[in-house]
């Protein structure tokens, strides 16, 4: 198909005496096409282009808005628009974002401000302590930052495994008083199972159930784009530079976390933040957090222990008391890996919480667990010696032998 202009040009060149071959070379059009249009007396009809909406078109305004906010991670935006119904591929999205990326990166480098209640960011930091025997031991710092108000939560743990992460998140929710709409993570294996996949298939399924339990959206970021998780990464540096130098000594993780909580409440969240020029604690109410699910997501397998006759249980070479009514029963021990343990009954109800001692073979008792013990009816004690039973056989009257001799003589006289 040729245009109307090309039609009149073919006619004009023919009127000037040019041959079909010459017109074909001049216009770069096939000879048959020139011949066919010379036979016609009318130019080609104008056709109205039928616009067909692409799969990405309904989402382009949102994509540009997110890029303008500073989010240039195609994987993040893909997850967001896929949740709203986008059925296209990642390549289409990347091609659309490509010409806008440079400008968006410049804005992201300045600062990306998070709307209230929109997002929190989570990361782990590693710290080293010197043990009493001189050996070095690695500790893990769980750090969570609310994107809008810059409120921090900090907790030190023995490891960064799945069950430990879940416990830290729930305690962070309780500390902040709620949950943000989404939480941003990196590709830690406890959260992201397959970084190359999309949709729900990429997530650790246990973590996905946890997110559904507390009604937040998990969001991942790409390792090569650290600015998308900059708030919490700067937070790790802040903890390392401001809190850690204040720690001179501690007897255990529980005491270290006491110092961390004091630092959060008196220094970190009460300072004038140099970026937002506000005090995080004072604007926490602006976050408009969603209520957390008050039912804990008990994803851990409780360690079963039998309560001994002295009302004690043994865990990791230490002993802890429970109320005497549990003697002979089995209870479950949950190690929070932050210097504390929790003990649950068979119904899943919390019995007691303890701090883990730094040394082994320690005994921790609570007086209330033994109150009323002496007033209870006890079972009869086992006998320590055999019981003598009186002879129950009939008694026989014993007579002297002389009596029997006299009776014999009397019989013989008869």
pLDDT in tens, the chain (414 residues): 667 767 777 887 888 788 888 888 877 788 888 888 788 877 766 555 555 668 888 888 888 878 877 778 888 788 888 888 888 888 889 989 988 887 776 655 445 568 899 999 999 999 999 887 888 999 999 999 999 999 999 999 999 998 899 999 999 999 999 999 999 887 778 887 665 556 665 777 888 888 989 999 888 765 544 444 556 678 888 898 889 988 888 888 999 999 999 999 999 999 988 888 899 999 999 999 999 998 878 655 688 999 999 999 999 999 999 999 999 999 999 888 888 999 998 887 889 999 998 888 999 999 999 887 765 545 444 444 455 555 555 555 566 666 556 655 554 544
Determine, yes or no, domain membership for 405.
no
Within this chain, do residues 131 and 251 fall inside the same structural domain, yes or no? yes
Specify the pTM. 0.58
Together in a domain, 106 and 239: no
> Do 103 and 123 sit in the same domain of this protein?
no
> Residue 382: its pLDDT value, please?
42
Do residues 100 and 124 share a domain? no
Task: Confirm if 322 and 313 have CB atoms less than 8 A apart.
Answer: yes
- The verdict on residue 52 lying in a domain is no
Q: Are residues 193 and 257 in the same domain?
A: yes
Query: Could you give phi then psi for residue 281, rounded to 5 degrees?
Result: -60, -35
Final residue of a structural domain among 287, 322, 341: 287
Residues 84 and 128 in one domain: no
On whether residue 401 sits in a domain, the answer given is: no
| Number of structural domains in the chain | 4
The per-residue pLDDT for 158 is: 92
Specify whether 137 is located in the same domain as 260: yes
| Bridge-based pairing state of the strands 318-321 and 363-364 | parallel
Residue 131 belongs to some domain of the structure = yes
Contacts of 67 (CB under 8 A, 6+ apart): 77, 97, 100, 101, 104
- Please state, in angstroms and rounded to a whole number, the distance separating the CA atoms of residues 9 and 161: 75
Same-domain status, 135 and 248: yes
Same structural domain, 143 and 270: yes
* Structural tokens at position 366: 């609570």
For the chain, what is the total number of helices (H) and then of strands (E)?
A: 11, 12
**Domain presence at residue 185:** yes
Quote the pLDDT of residue 383. 44
144 and 281 housed in the same domain: yes
> Does 105 lie in the same domain as 25?
no
Domain contains 48: no
Q: Which structural domain, as residue segments, surrounds residue 317? A: 303-370
Q: Is residue 261 part of a domain?
A: yes
CA dihedral sign, ordered 287, 290, 293, 299: negative
Contact 75, 220 (CB under 8 A): yes
Dihedral in degrees, nearest 10, Cα atoms 175, 178, 180, 183: 50
In a domain, 139, yes or no: yes
Do residues 95 and 132 share a domain? no
């Amino acid at each position: 198909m040729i245009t109307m202009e090309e039609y009149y040009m073919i006619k004009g060149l023919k009127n000037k005496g040019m041959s079909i071959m010459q017109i074909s070379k001049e216009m770069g059009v096939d000879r048959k096409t020139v011949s066919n249009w010379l036979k016609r007396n009318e130019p080609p009809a104008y056709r109205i282009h039928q616009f067909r909406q692409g799969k990405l078109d309904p989402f382009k305004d949102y994509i540009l808005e997110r890029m303008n906010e500073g989010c240039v991670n195609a994987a993040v935006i893909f997850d967001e628009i896929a949740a709203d119904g986008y059925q296209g591929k990642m390549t289409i999205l990347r091609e659309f974002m490509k010409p806008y990326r440079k400008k968006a990166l410049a804005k992201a480098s300045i600062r990306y401000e998070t709307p209230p209640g929109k997002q929190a960011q989570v990361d782990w930091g590693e710290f080293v302590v010197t043990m009493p025997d001189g050996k070095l031991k690695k500790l893990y710092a769980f750090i969570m930052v609310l994107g809008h108000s810059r409120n921090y939560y900090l907790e030190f743990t023995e490891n960064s495994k799945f069950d430990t992460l879940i416990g830290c998140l729930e305690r962070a929710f309780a500390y902040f008083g709620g949950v943000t709409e989404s939480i941003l993570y990196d590709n830690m294996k406890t959260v992201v199972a397959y970084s190359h996949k999309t949709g729900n298939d990429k997530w650790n399924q246990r973590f996905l159930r946890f997110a559904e339990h507390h009604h937040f959206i998990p969001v991942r970021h790409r390792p090569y784009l650290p600015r998308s998780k900059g708030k919490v990464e700067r937070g790790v540096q802040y903890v390392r530079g401001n809190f850690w130098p204040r720690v001179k000594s501690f007897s255990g993780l529980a005491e270290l976390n006491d110092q961390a909580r004091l630092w959060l409440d008196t220094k970190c969240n009460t300072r004038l933040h140099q970026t937002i020029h506000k005090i995080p604690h004072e604007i926490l109410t602006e976050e408009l957090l969603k209520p957390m699910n008050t039912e804990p997501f008990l994803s851990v397998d409780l360690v079963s222990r039998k309560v001994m006759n002295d009302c004690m249980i043994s865990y990791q070479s230490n002993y802890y008391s429970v109320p005497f009514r549990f003697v002979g029963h089995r209870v479950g021990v949950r190690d929070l890996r932050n210097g504390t343990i929790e003990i649950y009954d068979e119904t899943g109800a919390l019995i007691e919480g303890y701090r883990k001692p730094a040394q082994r073979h320690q005994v921790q008792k609570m007086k209330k667990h033994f109150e009323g013990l002496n007033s209870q009816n006890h079972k009869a004690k086992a006998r320590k010696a055999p019981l003598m039973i009186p002879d129950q056989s009939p008694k026989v009257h014993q007579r002297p032998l002389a009596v029997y001799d006299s009776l014999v003589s009397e019989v013989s006289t008869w």
